[in-house]
Amino acid sequence: MLQRDIAMLESPSPRVLAALREWLHGSSRASNRSSKLDGRDREMFSVGSDLVALRPPADTDPLSKLLRNHWPFPSERLSPHEWDRFRHFKDRRLSWVVTSLSIAIATFLLVVPIIVLYFVTNPNARLALTITFIVAFAIGLSATTSANRDAIFAATAAYSAVLVVFVSGDLANAE
């Protein structure tokens, strides 16, 4: 591997750094554990920007990061020791959960506004609801994808156009 390739590697996540430090220096839960490094080597891994992740996580969107850091489902214990907090979960399972949540959020943000706007007839309320749904869509898109600002802006503009066409079509009063 060339030096320029190494310079392009990402730093490990704070979760991975915390796990490494806990493994190297012991845990406060284990009173009989000592540090694996002594002397000047003890602080060798203290600066996270000096380290690289050889295999960074595949999904870097905010929802994946949140679930990766706070995995709510049962996971496999890596050590028989009770004080060891390290657990292992499959990235495939994380990916499935994130995909399922993203589909649910996308469906919700497409179906619910149409149903709500269908029954609201007050023009001021429709305008306020349309703006609310557009903002919710942009927030949902940025939370569930790793899209850049340009893509989020373009998708939100398309979503806005669909809602405006629906509202201006006045389908609630059509026969």
Q: Mean of the per-residue pLDDT values for the chain?
A: 78
Cα separation, 139 vs 141, whole angstroms: 5
Burial class of residue 64 (count of CB atoms within 10 Å of its CB; 0-12, 13-18, 19+): buried
When pLDDT is cut at 50, 70 and 90, the band that residue 28 belongs to is low
Interval 49-94: pLDDT, tens? 777 777 666 667 788 778 877 777 766 766 666 656 666 677 788 8
Interval 140-166: pLDDT, tens? 888 888 888 999 999 999 999 988 888
pTM of the entire predicted model: 0.62
